Structure 1
Amino acid sequence: MTQQESATPIKVNFHFDPLCPLAWRTALWMREVRQVRPVAVTWRFFSLELVNRKEGVQPNYEDHGWTGLRTLALVRRREGNEGVERYYLALGAAQHGRRESIADAAGVRAALQRAGLNVGLVDEALADESTIHEVQADHQEAVERYHAFGVPTIALEGSHVGFYGPVIIEVPRGAEAGEYWDHFYWALRQPNLYELKRERVGVKLEPIAE
């Protein structure tokens, strides 16, 4: 039975940081994939600030992208996975499409408004320390379960194997998106495949909103 014929969706976990332009492009691709393949995406968090934080530096959980991540955590509680996707789309379109910063509360509020969500969620999220722990829990699960070191990290639900990538510069659309997925899905299920990489020397990331 092919993926197209299967009635049961393939469930994947997609770990992202809204500040990452590579994760953004891959997320747009995954939305295209869902139109042509039976795939269900659960959006999970990952903090690049945690990965890149220098030893001894005190964290600022209202800076370095934490405002957006913490607000995403609260959106997930209130609106579920669909709300996370809607809000992530608004954040990504601002940061990676219009080049509007989402690294502070003002940028986060603007994205909430565009997503049709309560702009007061950002203040609630920053006043609630449990949003920090929620982001950290997603991040730590990715590190411990998949040995994740960056984003995008994608894994089949229930699997202990996750892949960094695919890193995509031009977002495939329609049937091409499905073909990309077919190859990636094959790779995810190969126990002896660990790494495949090509350098991005000279590659320029142009703004892309959707």
Structure 2
Amino acid sequence: MTQSVSFWFDVSCPFAWMTSRWIKEVEKVRDIDVTFVPMSLSVLNDGRDIPESYAHKMEANWGPARVFAAVADQEGAAKVDELYTAMGTIVHVEGESGKTGYGAYNDVIARALEQVGLDADYAAHADDEGGQAEQSLRRYHQEAQDLVGDDVGTPVVKLGDTAFFGPVITRLPEGEEAGEIFDAAVRLSQYPYFFELKRSRTEAPQTK
């Protein structure tokens, strides 16, 4: 039976990126139907007292997230998936991550849209503060928060009827190993009283 998976992401997040590449590996070895949905660390931190350097990163992250929301509204999940792979590769593999300030990702957005054959006009949503795309982004983000709470970041993964923050991984499992980790996550999700496993990270995501 096909396993339904919903995956909320912020393209700027290296942890979400690594987990998403695991899910793409799982697609090769398990019968799953994945829907990628935008959420936003900028929305999550909106109005919070955060360090200035991190606040400047949140300013930059609004742009891509709004664009993903517009694409989700108008093109559907398949194109969101395709755009996430394209833009995430530029950001995390080609070294365009960690930008600061409003509009910092505009060139990345334009390149990714061109790669996947989407209308360049989608890029205009990046700087449309308070516009329809941002309203949709906040709605998508709230869907994730309603499932897991507002004290976690990205990714949020829903397996069947249960959603969690994570899993957080720093290296990419491939092939059957990816499938076995997925099986374990599904089994945990089926127990209604399981909430979390956690340990201190010893390395950053190995995205390149």
TM-score range, shorter chain: 0.7 to 0.9
In the superposition, the TM-score normalised over structure 2's length comes to 0.85
Q: CA deviation at 1:77?
A: 2.9
Q: Which amino acid aligns with 2:42?
A: E
Q: Which amino acid aligns with 1:35?
A: K
Aligned to 1:3: none
Tell me the distance in 1 between the aligned counterparts of 2:204 and 2:136.
Answer: 34
In the superposition, the TM-score normalised over structure 1's length comes to 0.84
Structure 2: which 5+ runs fail to align? none
- CA distance 1:89–1:141, shift in 2 (3 Å): same
Aligned to 2:23: 30
Deviates more, 1:64-73 or 1:180-189: 64-73
1:63–1:104 CA contact under 8 A, matched in 2: no
Within 5 A, what are the aligned runs for 1:173-188? 173-188=174-189
Does residue 40 of structure 1 match 2:38? no
- Partner SS, residue 34 of structure 2: strand
- Partner SS, residue 13 of structure 1: strand
C-alpha offsets along residues 91-113 of structure 1, whole Å, 9 cap, x if unaligned? Answer: 11011101124742122111111
Within 5 A, what are the aligned runs for 1:130-149? 130-148=132-150, 149=152
2:62–2:126 CA contact under 8 A, matched in 1: no
Tell me the distance in 2 between the aligned counterparts of 1:78 and 1:125.
Answer: 15
- CA distance 1:155–1:120, shift in 2 (3 Å): same
Aligned to 1:194: 195
* Identical-residue share of aligned pairs (%): 32
1:70–1:131 CA contact under 8 A, matched in 2: yes
Aligned to 2:81: 85
Say which of 139, 152, 172 aligns to 2:155: 152
- CA distance 1:174–1:75, shift in 2 (3 Å): same
Q: Which amino acid aligns with 1:130?
A: Q
2:65–2:126 CA contact under 8 A, matched in 1: no
Aligned to 1:51: 44
How many residue pairs are counted as aligned between the two chains?
Answer: 196
Please state which structure has a larger fraction of its residues in helix. 2
Tell me the distance in 1 between the aligned counterparts of 2:125 and 2:194.
Answer: 43
Structure 1: which 5+ runs fail to align? 1-5
2:9–2:37 CA contact under 8 A, matched in 1: yes
1:12–1:42 CA contact under 8 A, matched in 2: yes
Tell me the distance in 2 between the aligned counterparts of 1:139 and 1:23.
Answer: 14
Q: CA deviation at 1:64?
A: 2.7
Tell me the distance in 1 between the aligned counterparts of 2:39 and 2:15.
Answer: 13
Q: CA deviation at 1:180?
A: 0.8
- CA distance 1:106–1:56, shift in 2 (3 Å): same
C-alpha offsets along residues 52-109 of structure 1, whole Å, 9 cap, x if unaligned? Answer: 234489x99x943111111112222332111001100111101110112474212211
Aligned to 1:12: 5
2:4–2:33 CA contact under 8 A, matched in 1: yes
In angstroms, what is the RMSD of aligned CA positions? 2.3
